[in-house]
Amino acid sequence: DQQVKQNSPSLSVQEGRISILNCDYTNSMFDYFLWYKKYPAEGPTFLISISSIKDKNEDGRFTVFLNKSAKHLSLHIVPSQPGDSAVYFCAASEWYGNTGKLIFGQGTTLQVKP
Amino acid sequence: GAGVSQSPSNKVTEKGKDVELRCDPISGHTALYWYRQSLGQGLEFLIYFQGNSAPDKSGLPSDRFSAERTGGSVSTLTIQRTQQEDSAVYLCASSPDVGETQYFGPGTRLLVL
């Protein structure tokens, strides 16, 4: 069973607009959530994370929101740039500080059009 | 500094053969992880090593898969008697310590014919 789900395989937005990528999870024991970005033929690179004790974390153009009651998190990119075009994976971990084991979603391909 | 490196970058093998995939983590990183990404899927955790502790092998899909980490540095993932369903991109990541940001290598693309 898929504990972390990204239900939208792809998303297309116009440059300058907001990109919103969504992720749902089923395991209420997850206490740490991350977003990774992946370009073709490269490994994923860390983007932003959030602990379960927070509901928002911001880093420049990237903001992650966590809704624990809905078991939902989202990544907002504002403003979107063509260089943001990539596959975005959300990941979750139970007791990340002790295990580091990440459960990934299937990914969402973001295309930002100039 | 140098990032995580993996070799080979691509590997084509015949069903039933054994393969070895290598990962060189970032120097000084004590935690090392293996994941795989099958076509159209997310990354699937396989195994992780932390210092001298016993590895967490809970993600290995079968006993044909094994991994070792020598001297707390280089790791090798071995797949015995490969099957077509083993075809995937195998990714290695390392972090300074468990619970810190994981840095991924470019992956090894394995194709089993």
The tens-digit pLDDT sequence of chain A (114 residues) is 789 999 999 999 999 999 999 999 999 999 999 999 999 989 999 999 999 999 999 999 999 999 999 999 999 999 999 999 999 999 999 877 777 889 999 999 999 999
Domain that holds residue A90: 4-108
Structural domain span for residue B47: 5-101
Q: Are A98 and B98 an interchain contact pair (Cβ–Cβ within 8 Å)?
A: yes
In a domain, residue A72? The reply is yes
Say if B79 falls within a structural domain.
Answer: yes
In a domain, A114, yes or no: no
Instruction: Tally the domains of chain B.
Output: 1
Q: Specify the pLDDT at position B1.
A: 58
User: What is the total count of domains within chain A?
Assistant: 1
Facing B104 at nearest CB: one of A43, A103, A105: A43
- CB burial class (10 A; 0-12, 13-18, 19+) of residue B49? buried
Residue to mutate among B45, B46, B50, with most A CBs inside 10 A, is B45
> In this predicted model, what pLDDT tens digit does every residue of B20-77 receive, in sequence order?
999 999 999 999 999 999 987 889 999 999 988 889 999 999 999 999 998 879 999 9
Q: Is residue B111 part of a domain?
A: no
Burial class (CB in 10 A: 0-12, 13-18, 19+), A75: buried
Instruction: Check which CATH number belongs to the domain holding B94 and give it.
Output: 2.60.40.10
- What's the CATH code of the domain at A84? 2.60.40.10
Question: A79 with A16: CB under 8 angstroms?
Answer: yes
Q: Is A80 among the domain residues?
A: yes
